[in-house]
Amino acid sequence: RHMQSVRGALPMLIGTVGAHEVARYGERLAQVPKGLVGAGGAADERSRGGGA
């Protein structure tokens, strides 16, 4: 209920913070493995044809 006033600005805030983080940690983020993690994630990746 109390978040209604910031609801419209939230996507912009998330985008701005995300862009800042990518600019700051982009090189490290590029080295992080992508995809789902854990045994369940590995099974999901296999079912999608992603290996693992």
CA-CA distance, 40 to 37, in Å (whole number)? Answer: 7
- Tell me the per-residue pLDDT of 15-48, one tens digit each, with 9 for 90 and over: 999 999 989 988 888 887 776 666 777 777 788 7
> Can you tell me the mean pLDDT for 8-20?
90
Residue 7 reports pLDDT greater than 90? no
Contact 36, 45 (CB under 8 A): yes
CA-CA distance, 17 to 22, in Å (whole number)? Answer: 9
pTM for the model? 0.45
